[in-house]
């Protein structure tokens, strides 16, 4: 048993890699993507070996019931996105559709690591996290269809909605990176009211290039805020491959520059993602500050539905097709005898049925009345209450500003070196 990276004030800036960095992966993906000229045209070329993945890394944190719940969310995520694609093809979607194909395991398992009191803000490919957080598939569908019944009443689309109430979800905006300081601020506001919470959001290999990413991670580090930042390295920012986005070999290495712990995981291994995120969430609860988690995976569709992703080398897709997060997790459940073929079929049929009903409900919602566009620019008196909830006995707030005692987090597995 090796403890998770655990920073004490004295360790800040320590030189030993082990103290700030943990790699949960069971395999290192060895391939390269290069820009070449082929028959007069610039193209990307893949070189590597198409191998099969290892079995999943045993968690020890998740029991059978939790694993089956995660599996259900994974199926919902994938089947919901299939329905979104159908709706688009039938002309029922306004604008485009974004998919998280190949990233469902990461979206679901990370969000599953949050407690109800924690906060979350999804990125466009984390539609699975919305389901984990308790939003109905019909909400996502109505957002894409710009319906009156959508959470934003047609004022915005996609996963651009949230809930300051029980689901504690912040609506993203399209500008990448801007969610990160906001989630840090969530922790700051909660801390001032006497609570240490985790605030999770995601960023991509592209979004990590923004200036606000660096400002926000540094800010969270200095202020010791419980930010859980999952860097989804899906190798492509629209059509730009990773090697044209960043020079570092692993995006997790950037955590070193801010003096915060980092964990690297295989983003197609649900159990690794959960363990890393749960560790980060518990660190946040203990006042231990932010964690950066790099999740390595692959965007298996284009940037959005209009993008055929012809620039992606086919062998790269084949490599990752063998690492489908849902199939890998199914294999794990079957090997544990937690999911029989019969139960799997039953569950899939049940989710299919549920999704059709959700779709019917979404379709039944009318389009919004145009006049509703004109109100609600300002929060007028009596429209929304702004109500902090101060705890009677606040934890040692004075200690929090960069000098909190950091709580040890249970580690559960050896590093892969």
Binding of residue 397 to other proteins (CB under 8 A): yes
Could you tell me the strand order of the sheet in which 291-296 lies? 21-23, 262-266, 291-296, 227-233, 199-204, 119-121
Q: Where does this chain touch other proteins (CB under 8 A) — which range of 78-86, 103-111, 306-314, 375-383?
A: 375-383
d(CA 338, CA 330) in angstroms, rounded, equals 9
44 versus 219: smaller Cβ distance to other proteins? 219
Residue 109 to residue 280: CA distance in whole angstroms: 13
E strands, 79-166, are: 119-121
Q: Which residue has the tokens 């990276």?
A: 5
Site string for other proteins, 92-131 (x = CB under 8 A): ----------------------------------------
**Strand partners for 203:** 231
Write out the E strands in 253-406.
Answer: 262-266, 291-296
Decide whether 227 or 231 has the Cβ nearer to other proteins. Answer: 227
Q: Looking at beta carbons only, is 107 or 158 nearer to other proteins?
A: 158
- Does position 152 interact with other proteins (CB under 8 A)? The reply is yes
Token pair recorded at residue 311: 């620039």
Among 41, 247, 389, 417, binds other proteins (CB under 8 A): 389
- Indicate the residue among 70 and 182 with the shorter CB distance to other proteins: 182
Q: Which of 53, 181, 241, 267 binds other proteins (CB under 8 A)?
A: 181
Q: Which of 139, 190, 205, 266 binds other proteins (CB under 8 A)?
A: 190
Phi, psi at residue 315, to the nearest 5°? -65, -30
Establish if 156 lies at the interface with other proteins (CB under 8 A).
yes
When asked if residue 173 is in the footprint of other proteins (CB under 8 A), the reply is: yes
Interface with other proteins, residue 10, by CB under 8 A: no
Stretch that binds other proteins, among 8-16, 18-26, 182-190, 291-299 (CB under 8 A): 182-190
3-state helix, strand, coil in the chain (%, to 5): 40, 10, 50
CA distance 73 to 246: 32
User: Residue 393, interface with other proteins (CB under 8 A)?
Assistant: no
Considering only 170, 203, 298, 409, the residue that binds other proteins (CB under 8 A) is 170
User: How crowded is residue 185: how many other Cβ atoms within 10 Å of its Cβ?
Assistant: 18
Both tokens of 87, joined, read 């709706």
Residue 1 near residue 411, CB atoms below 8 Å: yes
Span of 57-65, 82-90, 170-178, 234-242 interacting with other proteins by CB under 8 A: 170-178
The nearest distance, CB 390 to other proteins, in angstroms, is 6
**Residue 63, CB half-sphere, CA atoms under 13 Å: how many?**
1
Measured from the CB atom, is 342 or 380 closer to other proteins? 380
C-beta of residue 104 within 8 angstroms of C-beta of residue 77: yes
Q: Which stretch binds other proteins (CB under 8 A): 43-51, 64-72, 192-200, 274-282?
A: 192-200
**Smallest distance, Å, CB 162 to other proteins?**
5
Cβ 25 to other proteins, closest distance in Å? 30
| Phi/psi of residue 28, nearest 5 degrees | -105, 125
DSSP state of 245: T
Which DSSP letter does residue 17 get? G
Q: Rounded distance, CA 398 to CA 198, Å?
A: 19
Taking the complex as a whole, the smallest distance from the CB of residue 183 to other proteins amounts, in Å, to: 6
Of the ranges 19-27, 267-275, 296-304, 394-402, which one interacts with other proteins (CB under 8 A)?
394-402
Element (H, E) at 241: strand 240-241
Instruction: Among 24, 74, 186, 406, indicate the residue that binds other proteins (CB under 8 A).
Output: 186
Query: Which lies closer to other proteins via its Cβ, residue 284 or residue 400?
Result: 400
Applying CB under 8 A, which part among 32-40, 57-65, 75-83, 157-165 lies near other proteins?
157-165
Q: Are 295 and 231 in contact (CB under 8 A)?
A: yes
Binding of other proteins by 392 (CB under 8 A): no
Nearest C-alpha neighbor of 235 from the set 27, 21, 33: 33
Beta carbon of residue 401, minimum distance to other proteins (angstroms, whole number): 5
Cβ atoms of 329 and 70 within 8 Å: the answer is yes
Residues that bind other proteins (CB under 8 A): 151-152, 155-156, 160-162, 164, 170-171, 173-175, 178, 180-193, 199, 211-212, 215-216, 218-219, 222-223, 376-379, 381, 383-384, 386-390, 397-398, 400-401
């Amino acid at each position: 048993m090796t403890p998770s990276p655990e920073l004490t004030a004295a360790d800040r800036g320590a030189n030993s890699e082990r103290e700030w960095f943990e790699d949960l992966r069971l395999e290192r993906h060895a391939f390269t993507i290069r820009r070449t000229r082929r028959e007069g045209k610039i193209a990307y070329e893949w070189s590597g070996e198409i191998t099969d993945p290892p079995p999943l890394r045993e968690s020890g944190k998740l029991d059978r019931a939790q694993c089956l719940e995660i599996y259900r969310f994974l199926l919902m995520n994938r089947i919901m996105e299939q329905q979104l694609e159908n709706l688009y093809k039938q002309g029922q979607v306004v604008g485009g559709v974004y998919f998280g194909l190949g990233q469902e395991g990461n979206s679901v398992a990370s969000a599953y690591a949050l407690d109800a009191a924690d906060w979350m803000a999804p990125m466009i490919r984390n539609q699975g996290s919305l389901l984990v957080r308790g939003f109905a598939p019909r909400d996502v569908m109505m957002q894409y269809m710009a319906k009156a019944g959508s959470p934003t009443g047609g004022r915005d689309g996609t996963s651009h909605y949230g809930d300051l109430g029980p689901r504690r979800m912040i609506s993203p905006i399209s500008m990448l990176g801007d969610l990160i300081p906001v989630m840090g601020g969530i922790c700051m506001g909660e801390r001032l009211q006497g609570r240490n919470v985790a605030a999770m959001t995601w960023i991509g290999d592209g979004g990590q290039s923004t200036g606000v990413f660096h400002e926000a991670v540094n800010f969270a580090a200095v202020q010791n805020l419980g930010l859980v930042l999952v860097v989804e390295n899906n190798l492509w920012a629209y059509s730009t491959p990773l090697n044209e986005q960043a020079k570092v070999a692993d995006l997790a290495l950037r955590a070193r520059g801010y003096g915060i712990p980092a964990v690297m995981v295989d983003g197609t291994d649900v159990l690794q993602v959960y363990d890393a995120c749960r560790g980060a969430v518990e660190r946040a609860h203990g006042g231990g500050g932010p964690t950066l988690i790099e999740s390595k995976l692959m965007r298996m569709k284009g940037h959005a539905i209009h993008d055929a992703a012809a620039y992606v080398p086919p062998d790269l897709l084949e490599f990752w097709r063998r690492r489908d997060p849902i199939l890998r997790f199914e294999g794990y459940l079957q090997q544990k005898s937690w999911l029989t073929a019969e139960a799997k079929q039953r569950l899939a049929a049940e989710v299919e049925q549920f999704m059709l009903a959700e779709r019917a409900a979404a379709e039944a919602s009318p389009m919004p009345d145009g006049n509703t566009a004109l109100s609600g620019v300002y929060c007028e008196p009596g429209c929304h209450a702004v109500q902090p909830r101060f705890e009677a006995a606040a934890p040692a707030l004075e200690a929090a500003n960069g000098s909190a005692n950091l709580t040890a987090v249970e580690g559960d597995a050896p590093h892969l070196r």
